[in-house]
Amino acid sequence: MRNTLDYLFNPSSLAVIGASDKVGSLGRGLAENILSTYTGKIYFVNRRGGKILGLEAFRSVKEISDIIDLALIITPSHTVPEILDELREKETKVAVIYSGGFREAGREDLEREVIEKAKINRIRILGPNCVGFIDNWTPINATFVSRERQGIPRKGYVSLISQSGALGSLFLDLMSYRDIGLRRFISVGNASDIKISELIRYLVNDPDTRALGLYIESIAEGRELIESLRKFSSVKPIVILRGGRSSRGSKAALSHVAALSASPKLVDGVLRISGITQVYTIREFLASMEALEKLERLLSLEKIFAITNTGGMGVLVSDALDISGIELTDFLDNQLRELRSIVPPYMSIGNPIDLSGDAPTERFREVFKILIKYKPDLLIIINQPQTSAMDTENFVLFAEELRNYLKDLRILLLVSGGEYARNFASRLRKIGLPVAEDPHELVAMIRSLRKDIIRGVRVVDLVESRREMVNPIVLNTLLSGRNLLLEYESKEILSRQGLDIPKGFVARSLNELKDLFYEKKLVFPVVAKIVSPDITHKSSIGGVVLGIRNFEELKKAFINLYELARNRGIRFLGVLVEEMIRGSPEFFVGGYRHEVFGSVVSFGSGGVFVELLEDVAFRSYDADIAEIYSMISETMIFRLLSRIEKKEATLSSIIKTIGIVSRLLEDNPEIKEIDINPATLYQEKVYVLDARIILGNPLKSSSVY
Amino acid sequence: MRNTLDYLFNPSSLAVIGASDKVGSLGRGLAENILSTYTGKIYFVNRRGGKILGLEAFRSVKEISDIIDLALIITPSHTVPEILDELREKETKVAVIYSGGFREAGREDLEREVIEKAKINRIRILGPNCVGFIDNWTPINATFVSRERQGIPRKGYVSLISQSGALGSLFLDLMSYRDIGLRRFISVGNASDIKISELIRYLVNDPDTRALGLYIESIAEGRELIESLRKFSSVKPIVILRGGRSSRGSKAALSHVAALSASPKLVDGVLRISGITQVYTIREFLASMEALEKLERLLSLEKIFAITNTGGMGVLVSDALDISGIELTDFLDNQLRELRSIVPPYMSIGNPIDLSGDAPTERFREVFKILIKYKPDLLIIINQPQTSAMDTENFVLFAEELRNYLKDLRILLLVSGGEYARNFASRLRKIGLPVAEDPHELVAMIRSLRKDIIRGVRVVDLVESRREMVNPIVLNTLLSGRNLLLEYESKEILSRQGLDIPKGFVARSLNELKDLFYEKKLVFPVVAKIVSPDITHKSSIGGVVLGIRNFEELKKAFINLYELARNRGIRFLGVLVEEMIRGSPEFFVGGYRHEVFGSVVSFGSGGVFVELLEDVAFRSYDADIAEIYSMISETMIFRLLSRIEKKEATLSSIIKTIGIVSRLLEDNPEIKEIDINPATLYQEKVYVLDARIILGNPLKSSSVY
């Protein structure tokens, strides 16, 4: 059976409803694009009839006797519901609604009506408020973008999905300018029916989509999006450019496409999935797509050589690589000798090799011949063609030779400059070589070419389910009418799920304190903390006594904490006494159920530093070990951790702790939030020093109560 | 009297020595450029004689009977010394040596010889190993860059100094492409005589240089450079692009132009001078120069409005501005109402105002008319001309109207895209408007247009000289054969210069301990630290005892420290006893004499964090208060400080502490390094908890000993 989206990208017949003959109108632009690309059956519909671009137009879809697989609707928004009704008889499978004037203009009602009509009539909808789509292989250009004013990319292997129509068409223009081949382009607009995640899942199985570029501004379908991205990225590369990363940016995005946004750091984190490259500028976005359309990714990008005819550009490239953590490879002594033998003495042989400004193509070729013997993964060739020594025609021939190496060796060129350089770059691109226009584009290309390690074990799968042990505590809390677990309850849950907590007990009276103290045999020094459901920040009100060195001091602490409760008029449920763990450093592990992205986990500096230094990183709860490792390494506290002895053991303890938090969220839908702050390291083990678990509103979780 | 550099930029006569008729040779390129620009007397010299570009060539300078103000030498390096001798009789004032093959090729000897010859013959040298220079107002193009392959910018108001010749000519190419007007361009090459600082000082007084672009890779003339930059930036804007910021980058720079590099963070810091914009990419560099050539800076860039016909680009611009700390201005309610009345209902009115893709020029014009009434400092106009609604011819007319507003209102345009958009941008630039090609270029333009506050008081001037009180301690230390001051000596110096140190004393025996203890009346708890010239990190060997609560404990600590010294075989000079200051947070203040930049000061996190988190920032010792404030605010510890109560008082205490360090370095040439680590805050005062002062090698400081 055909997928509905097959009818979108490759219909047998289509109607352009709102097609127009009026020069400059969108209906005319769309009709022109369709006529000049699509070879199937085309019907133009315009309520005034007449001729459009030489074709007789129908006054209504009802006049068409044929089946219409795909309807392209570019009429005023209020006319759309009726058109959808009329299309029912034409067995229309998909409609693209270009028209604006829906949710983005405050008309949620009209958008809902359209979607209901579409459902009733079994028509899937792309849009509304979109620029349309392109399939260069069908071929079909179902956008209204003006081909006089902007380029449409040639047929190729990158697909592009854009949440912004206008930026989408800008990307097409720039792809064409850079000779990046396009498979499919989809502008999703308000995405009220066909969503980005559905399109991504569809493209996973499209052999001609070898890489995907995605521009998103606001994410309303978080969990589905993450899952579709995971699926796609496990087989093919994705580059994401995200708008609305700042607060004003997200406000601008909100007014643009009204959908939910979230903290930029959180979104950054959950989208950091192996196989996905996140970029931050339009140029990086285009450069990455250019590299991915022309080259296959490599698992190893370790041996990287660079040659340049411009020393200064070599310096700027070295800087840009270095800042991105990409290292050029040092030459071995015998390699240096060999290189030395063929280049002028004033040429400096580092990496980059500076061939100097008087280098003709022949010098590039000679050095290249030597370098390929050293089997690099990646070769960077910087050629500023402006120097009078550069015989550009010969270099073009050399570039054609280079193309033959692309299967085994990734080659990236860098050419900067005005008209002459741009024309030169354009010729190199036509030959099939990716050309960066500046050092930062080059870095983006390399980043996107680096194939991440294969999907590893999900951290949540490192930990076995113990719901049956955890659930009673959750249940008890809910039955007592509380959402917030007390510290010792939270710790008990974490302990049952496999985490280490300090040895201790809760005493409700002085007698109990004495009994439990002798029974549990705690080692001094200990710490005493008030137990009360009315306090969330114990230490700020003096509810924590540290460094207790004998039983007398402990008794005194108990009494003081009791007095504290009385003076403040808060409930006193006892005192939590625990051995003091003198670990270092302190850090934070958290997890919560985000309304858009589902469960996410976080890691950062402990105590107040997580907030003060904003030292926190996020991932989706189903991240794999490599992704969690990268989350940890994004933080500042990681620098302290990486100085610790037995670093590997330590880090795997922390990763397991994050797995435990993931597991608790996965298994226990009642748990809304887990804060372990601080945790610390003691003898390579993670100890929970303080913890807080919050449950979802029990009134809402009807399945349990 | 004329400055020698006047003869460089505006000579009455010149000789091209090494001029050539051979197509593709550098000598021909230079001769062509001179002939086509320079209207003074020109002599071509080539040892084979003959005709060059129609002019009879001399076989040697000796054959020329005239005075030669300026000699352009483009002959093999070994011939240069003799040519300089021959030029003596021609009263040559300046020579440009284009030839390579000197220091950069391992021939320091030849470079020294050239400089000696030049001195003897009273000829100033630009180069060697350079691309030459341009003065578009003389006019003269004394470079060998090929005008077929790259553009030369039109006459204008930005001067450009480049340490890299090839990048310099790339910048010229891009300036021409972007229609940025050039006043003077200078490629300094190895800069063995005429240095960047001298050129900058010269350009301070050049009325036609309204802004300066500077590309530097490695800085051999640190202090002079800083001082020239300070001088220039106090009257005119400077944009700096720096290569070699990373370790490999600086290696690449080193092999390129052999000169001394320094830690990137330090160089970043000392170049952060009010009035200077540091940029990190070629595009930001060009965009900044474009803005500065066309617009004057403004002291206030507070009220910023943006309008766009592309929602998505508005989002990306908002993101880029936000990340750079630049805020768009919220509209007032009455403004919103007024705007609402003239735009279509589906258009969203935020800032940026989204005119939407169907906006013709007229909508831009109407909104503009309203916006200028609100007296913005800066207006951003984003126009993607690809939409079919955009009547570009009308927009060009509108742009001509906009030009008339530039005196009072800074207007920046953003146009992205392929051929059509580039041509459109090019037309707007020709009209005189600065056009960014992407959001990051836009941000760079705004940053460079923002005029910093006027130069404030130097922090070193906040503190009066007390050399007469400090010097005896320094002298004593040097006389005892030490370079490293003991902790208590270092603290004593800091105290005499005005810093607060904990109350304390040094006891050399148990008796003395007792006597001093009763005499000084310290308040417990106290801390005891070993005094020994043989230890630099006391705490790591157990040489520090904290939290001493009574005299018994103090005595025990004294004995333990004595034993420690004996066991380790290190000299025991006593024990430093001090009251414990329980301040927070701990931070680091430092100062040292850098071999290139002279005295620098630094600030960062205290204890081990300064290293672990690399949380440190630098400035030149003569920075003003605003610059020191910005240094402090670059650090992570600043976030902790800014949460503290009485933040203003606290920060001015810290600024004064930095002033004290500056003052000590300024007054006492014997002091090489000052480390206050940690210092802390207690009752808004800065206390020095530990300090170390290192003196310069006394054998070298001959003036004192």
The tokens for A192 are 């009220």
The Cα–Cα gap between A639 and B593 comes to 29
The Cα–Cα gap between A78 and A114 comes to 9
Q: Do A243 and B215 touch (CB under 8 A)?
A: no
Q: Which pLDDT value is given to residue B250?
A: 63
What are the backbone dihedrals phi and psi of residue A188, each rounded to the nearest 5 degrees, phi first?
-85, -15
- For B289-319, how does the pLDDT look when each residue is reduced to its tens digit (9 = 90+)? 999 999 999 877 889 999 999 989 999 999 9
Name the residue of chain B whose CA is nearest to A242's CA.
Answer: B316
Same fold, B298-449 and B456-497+582-705: no
Most A CBs within 10 Å, among B154, B162, B248, to test the A interface? B248
As a whole number, mean pLDDT of residues B238-253 equals: 78
Q: How far is B702 from chain A (nearest CA, A)?
A: 40
The tokens for A359 are 């280098």
Model confidence at B650: pLDDT above 80: yes
As a whole number, mean pLDDT of residues B91-117 equals: 94
Right CATH for B456-497+582-705 from 1.10.3720.10, 3.10.20.600, 1.10.150.120, 3.30.470.20:
3.30.470.20
The residue type found at B464 is E
Q: Do B388 and A25 touch (CB under 8 A)?
A: yes
Model confidence at B702: pLDDT above 50: no
Task: Give A355: exposed, middle or buried? Use CB within 10 Å, 0-12, 13-18, 19+.
Answer: buried
Q: Do A282 and B251 touch (CB under 8 A)?
A: no
Which residues in chain B have their CB less than 8 angstroms from residue A385's CB? 149
Q: Do B170 and A384 touch (CB under 8 A)?
A: yes
CA A181, chain centre distance (Å):
23
The tokens for B628 are 């020191």
Element of type H or E holding A71: strand A70-73
Dihedral sign, Cα of residue A196, residue A201, residue A202, residue A207: positive
The Cα–Cα gap between A546 and B603 comes to 33
The residue type found at B204 is V
Model confidence at A674: pLDDT above 80: yes
Name the residue of chain B whose CA is nearest to A77's CA.
Answer: B346
Residue in A169, A244, A247 closest to B386 by CB? A169
How many Cβ atoms are within 10 Å of A41's Cβ, its own excluded?
15
Q: Which pLDDT value is given to residue B454?
A: 66
**Please, are residues A241 and A214 in contact by the beta-carbon 8 Å criterion?**
yes
Q: Which of helix, strand or coil describes residue B434?
A: coil
What residue spans define the domains of chain B?
Answer: 1-126, 150-294, 298-449, 456-497+582-705, 503-580
Calculate the alpha carbon distances from B101 to A340, B18, B74, B129, B219 in Å. 16, 15, 12, 7, 21
The residue type found at B705 is Y
**Please, are residues A499 and A470 in contact by the beta-carbon 8 Å criterion?**
no
- For A506-524, how does the pLDDT look when each residue is reduced to its tens digit (9 = 90+)? 999 999 999 999 999 999 9
Task: Find the length of chain B.
Answer: 705
- For B266-287, how does the pLDDT look when each residue is reduced to its tens digit (9 = 90+)? 888 999 998 899 999 999 999 9
Per-chain mean pLDDT for chain B: 91
- For B109-120, how does the pLDDT look when each residue is reduced to its tens digit (9 = 90+)? 999 999 999 999
Please count the CA atoms within 13 angstroms of the CA of B274 that sit on its side-chain side.
20
Q: What percent of chain A has pLDDT over 90?
A: 74
**Please, are residues A186 and A126 in contact by the beta-carbon 8 Å criterion?**
yes
The Cα–Cα gap between A229 and A452 comes to 14
Ramachandran bin of A244, using left for φ above 0, alpha for ψ from -120 to 50, beta for the remaining angles: left
Q: Where are the alpha helices (DSSP H) in A480-584?
A: 487-496, 510-520, 551-568
Which residues in chain A have their CB less than 8 angstroms from residue B387's CB? 146, 149, 166
**Please, are residues A235 and A210 in contact by the beta-carbon 8 Å criterion?**
no
How many Cβ atoms are within 10 Å of A79's Cβ, its own excluded?
14
The Cα–Cα gap between A357 and A342 comes to 16
Q: Which pLDDT value is given to residue A579?
A: 95
Model confidence at A700: pLDDT above 50: no
Q: Where are the alpha helices (DSSP H) in B569-601?
A: none
Q: Which pLDDT value is given to residue B255?
A: 43
Model confidence at A256: pLDDT above 70: no
Q: How far is A290 from chain B (nearest CA, A)?
A: 15
Q: How far is B330 from chain A (nearest CA, A)?
A: 10
Please count the CA atoms within 13 angstroms of the CA of B506 that sit on its side-chain side.
13
Q: Do B315 and A387 touch (CB under 8 A)?
A: no
- Per DSSP bridges, beta strands A276-279 and A304-308 are unpaired
Which residues in chain B have their CB less than 8 angstroms from residue A249's CB? 315-316, 318-319, 322
- For B519-568, how does the pLDDT look when each residue is reduced to its tens digit (9 = 90+)? 999 999 999 999 998 887 888 888 999 989 999 999 999 999 999 999 99
**Please, are residues A163 and B314 in contact by the beta-carbon 8 Å criterion?**
no
Residue in A243, A316, A386 closest to B312 by CB? A243
Q: Do A323 and B246 touch (CB under 8 A)?
A: yes
Residue in A217, A245, A643 closest to B612 by CB? A643
- For A44-95, how does the pLDDT look when each residue is reduced to its tens digit (9 = 90+)? 999 999 999 999 999 999 999 999 999 999 999 999 999 999 999 999 999 9
The Cα–Cα gap between A31 and B505 comes to 92
Q: Which of helix, strand or coil describes residue A563?
A: helix
Q: Do B167 and A310 touch (CB under 8 A)?
A: yes
**Please, are residues A351 and A371 in contact by the beta-carbon 8 Å criterion?**
no
Q: Which pLDDT value is given to residue B482?
A: 87
Closest by CA to A40, choosing from A16, A17, A4, is: A16
Most A CBs within 10 Å, among B146, B149, B164, B384, to test the A interface? B149
- For A109-142, how does the pLDDT look when each residue is reduced to its tens digit (9 = 90+)? 999 999 999 999 999 999 999 999 999 999 999 9
Dihedral sign, Cα of residue A193, residue A198, residue A199, residue A200: positive
Q: How far is A323 from chain B (nearest CA, A)?
A: 7
**Please, are residues B601 and B661 in contact by the beta-carbon 8 Å criterion?**
yes
Closest by CA to B579, choosing from B427, B693, B697, B687, is: B687
- For A303-336, how does the pLDDT look when each residue is reduced to its tens digit (9 = 90+)? 999 999 998 999 999 999 998 989 999 999 999 8
Q: Which pLDDT value is given to residue A704?
A: 28
SS3 of A205-244? CCCCCCEEEEEECCCCCHHHHHHHHHHHHCCCCEEEEECC
Model confidence at A219: pLDDT above 90: no
Confidence class for position A249, pLDDT limits 50, 70, 90: low
SS3 of A404-450? CCCCCCEEEEECCCCHHHHHHHHHHHHHCCCEECCHHHHHHHHHHHE
**Please, are residues A25 and A31 in contact by the beta-carbon 8 Å criterion?**
no
The Cα–Cα gap between B59 and B45 comes to 6
The Cα–Cα gap between B649 and B652 comes to 5
The tokens for A682 are 């003691």
**Please, are residues B644 and B631 in contact by the beta-carbon 8 Å criterion?**
no
What are the backbone dihedrals phi and psi of residue A108, each rounded to the nearest 5 degrees, phi first?
-55, -35
As a whole number, mean pLDDT of residues B460-469 equals: 94
Right CATH for A298-449 from 2.40.50.140, 3.40.50.261, 2.40.40.20, 1.10.533.10:
3.40.50.261
Tally C-beta pairs within 8 A across A and B: 276
Calculate the alpha carbon distances from A220 to A132, A149, A267, A597 in Å. 20, 33, 12, 9
Question: Does the A1-126 domain belong in CATH 1.20.1250.20?
Answer: no
Which residues in chain A have their CB less than 8 angstroms from residue B324's CB? none
Residue in B100, B167, B323 closest to A313 by CB? B167
> Which of A28-37, A55-64, B128-137, B219-228 shows the lowest per-residue confidence on average (mean pLDDT)?
B219-228
The Cα–Cα gap between B354 and B335 comes to 15
Most A CBs within 10 Å, among B315, B395, B426, B586, to test the A interface? B315
Q: How far is B482 from chain A (nearest CA, A)?
A: 34
Q: How far is B163 from chain A (nearest CA, A)?
A: 9
Please count the CA atoms within 13 angstroms of the CA of B649 that sit on its side-chain side.
9
Most A CBs within 10 Å, among B217, B255, B316, B358, to test the A interface? B316
Dihedral sign, Cα of residue A196, residue A198, residue A204, residue A205: negative
As a whole number, mean pLDDT of residues B561-577 equals: 94
Q: What percent of chain B has pLDDT over 70?
A: 95
The Cα–Cα gap between A58 and A17 comes to 9
What are the backbone dihedrals phi and psi of residue A542, each rounded to the nearest 5 degrees, phi first?
85, 20
Q: Which residue(s) pair with B95 in the sheet? A: B71, B125
The residue type found at A406 is L
Most B CBs within 10 Å, among A103, A129, A149, to test the B interface? A149
What are the backbone dihedrals phi and psi of residue B400, each rounded to the nearest 5 degrees, phi first?
-65, -35
Q: Where are the alpha helices (DSSP H) in B17-145?
A: 26-37, 80-87, 108-120
User: What does DSSP assign to residue A105?
Assistant: G
Higher pLDDT, B354 or B286: B286
Q: Which pLDDT value is given to residue B258?
A: 34
Q: Do B389 and A247 touch (CB under 8 A)?
A: no
Q: How far is B90 from chain A (nearest CA, A)?
A: 32
For the domain A503-580, what is the CATH superfamily, name and number?
ATP-grasp fold, A domain (3.30.1490.20)
Confidence class for position B617, pLDDT limits 50, 70, 90: very high
Residue in A144, A151, A253 closest to B418 by CB? A151
Q: How far is A502 from chain B (nearest CA, A)?
A: 26
The tokens for B322 are 């936000």
Q: Do B150 and A316 touch (CB under 8 A)?
A: no
Q: How far is A429 from chain B (nearest CA, A)?
A: 15
Confidence class for position A261, pLDDT limits 50, 70, 90: very low
Q: Helix B487-496 vs helix B647-667: angle between axes, to the nearest 10 degrees?
A: 100
Model confidence at B341: pLDDT above 60: yes
Which residues in chain B have their CB less than 8 angstroms from residue A150's CB? 386, 417-418, 420-421
The Cα–Cα gap between B96 and B83 comes to 12
Which residues in chain B have their CB less than 8 angstroms from residue A312's CB? 162-168, 170, 215, 217, 243, 256
The Cα–Cα gap between A304 and A433 comes to 17
As a whole number, mean pLDDT of residues B384-407 equals: 92
User: What does DSSP assign to residue B548?
Assistant: E
Which residues in chain B have their CB less than 8 angstroms from residue A173's CB? 386, 417-418, 420-421
CATH code of the domain occupying B150-294: 3.40.50.261
Model confidence at A504: pLDDT above 50: yes
The Cα–Cα gap between B8 and B134 comes to 10
The Cα–Cα gap between A151 and A23 comes to 19
Model confidence at B423: pLDDT above 60: yes
**Please, are residues B676 and B662 in contact by the beta-carbon 8 Å criterion?**
no
The Cα–Cα gap between A464 and A498 comes to 9
